[in-house]
Amino acid sequence: MSVAYDFAHSPATEFMARPQHLLIDGRRVPASSGRTFKSLNPATGQVIATIAEGGEADVEHAVAAARRAFEGPWRTMRASERGQILLRWADLLKRNAEEIIELESIDAGKPISATMRQDFPAAVDTLIYYAGWADKISGDVVPVRDDALTYTMREPVGVVAAIVPWNFPLMIGMWKLAPALACGCTVVMKPAELTSLSALRIAELALEAGLPAGVFNVVTGPGRVVGDALVNHPDVDKVTFTGSPGVGRGIMKGAASNFKRVSLELGGKSANVIFDDADLEAASKAAASGIFFNAGQVCSAGSRVLVQERAYDEVVERLAARAKSIKIGDPLDRKTALGPVISEKQMKSILDYVDIGRKEGARLVTGGEKVGERGYFISPTVFADVAHEMRISQEEIFGPVVSVIKFTDEADALRIANGTAYSLAAGVWSRDIGRLQRFAKRARAGTVWMNTYGYTDVRLPWGGERDSGLGREHGTAAIDNFTEPKAVWMNLAV
């Protein structure tokens, strides 16, 4: 989808100026406590909105509303009608694209050109895709014996808690919302405290599209309060979460209270492996995009670039040249390629890792500095001479920092690529088709890109194992996430 937008009149300004209340049972309401918090623009550090700070009482109200809607109009509605409501919602998103894109760019510090090109179209595509699934979720007739009719059916899981991260709030939010709603579930969403605005706006549009009250609720506020209350609530049937491994472990413990179903998309330390027979220009270009896109705040970012010995120096040089050429600046400037990181805390964490890399003996080729006096900008950073055991090679930095690691042969590349706690994604570059296939088979990764890097599509499964999470999103895997199979046995010998 390619549409030209005019942001001169800032259609999001009026929305941001409003008190941003919770959305519970079809109404915008203040937090029960009356508390609020400030949302900051990461490009300037300035306040852009005042948002309700939800608490346990608000979670209680939202879950009760979701349960009523699940037992009432949403679950009993014809599946085709649910799909039509989701399609009307998608149409409203497209009609309000300018406002939503601008909100996302300002709130998350995302370059507006990338939000227009990727985040917003992906969110709409996801909604349309699962709207089409709504009346196609079926079971099977299983011929067990002649005197019985035996078949399976799929029923919605129930009330879903969707806990969404700050790096792709609109896109990842829709990854969770669309399939859950298409399956007949109801949702209480907790957007990240740092990026709540797009969730609140699209929830309003969902009501306008005809979504019944209580089907989609939004409770904003801190994870340690709102998130924990959702995870521990006895009337929540499933938790879907994207975020850090540490929080994911806590969610699994909390979900054990009533054996909630859980799906987790967690961290990554993805290896982008470049053999010396690869197209080094194409590989270096994709490697730079793979780590510097969204300021490196991507779970599948190619933060480890593994390069075979003979090509190593050339790739380092090419990566450094690309890093130096990236335009850093105002996210609302369409020429900007690298915006700020999300917060001052995140900026400090990334710069601490730059210091760690230096102390460990890695060579800082370029970058690694705060840029400008306002906002949370960091220059694209390239480390060379990185040893596999170093912390900057093993730990998720979640910023525009790449570690370039040397390897000798195919076995060495696989050893290094598989040698972290993560398993979300990997890339491999070579002209040898056999090598590509061997690597794809042996790499511990939920997605493997060959001679490309970073593409996703809602029609393909997405997720990882170990510290990268549990379960898969997208495609038919998401239908499995939000439905329970039921076996039915009818006696015919009566």
| Catalytic positions, written as ranges | 265, 299
**CB-based contact 305:278 (threshold 8 Å):** no
294 phi, psi to nearest 5 deg:
55, 35
**CB-based contact 174:478 (threshold 8 Å):** no
Q: What is d(CA 64, CA 24) in angstroms, rounded to the nearest whole number? A: 10
Beta strands per DSSP E along 259-376: 261-265, 271-274, 304-308, 363-366, 370-371
* Residue listed under structure tokens 């570059």: 429
What are the beta bridge partners of residue 163? 190, 241
Q: What is d(CA 393, CA 311) in angstroms, rounded to the nearest whole number? A: 20
**What is the token pair recorded at 262?**
């859980």
What are the beta bridge partners of residue 36? 52
Q: What is d(CA 266, CA 273) in angstroms, rounded to the nearest whole number? A: 22
Q: Is 80 exposed, middle or buried (0-12, 13-18, 19+ CB in 10 A)?
A: exposed
> What element of type H or E holds 488?
strand 483-491
DSSP string, 192-249: -TT--HHHHHHHHHHHHTTPPTTSEEE--S-IIIIIHHHHH-TT--EEEEES-HHHHH
**What is the token pair recorded at 231?**
């995870």
Q: Is 93 exposed, middle or buried (0-12, 13-18, 19+ CB in 10 A)?
A: buried
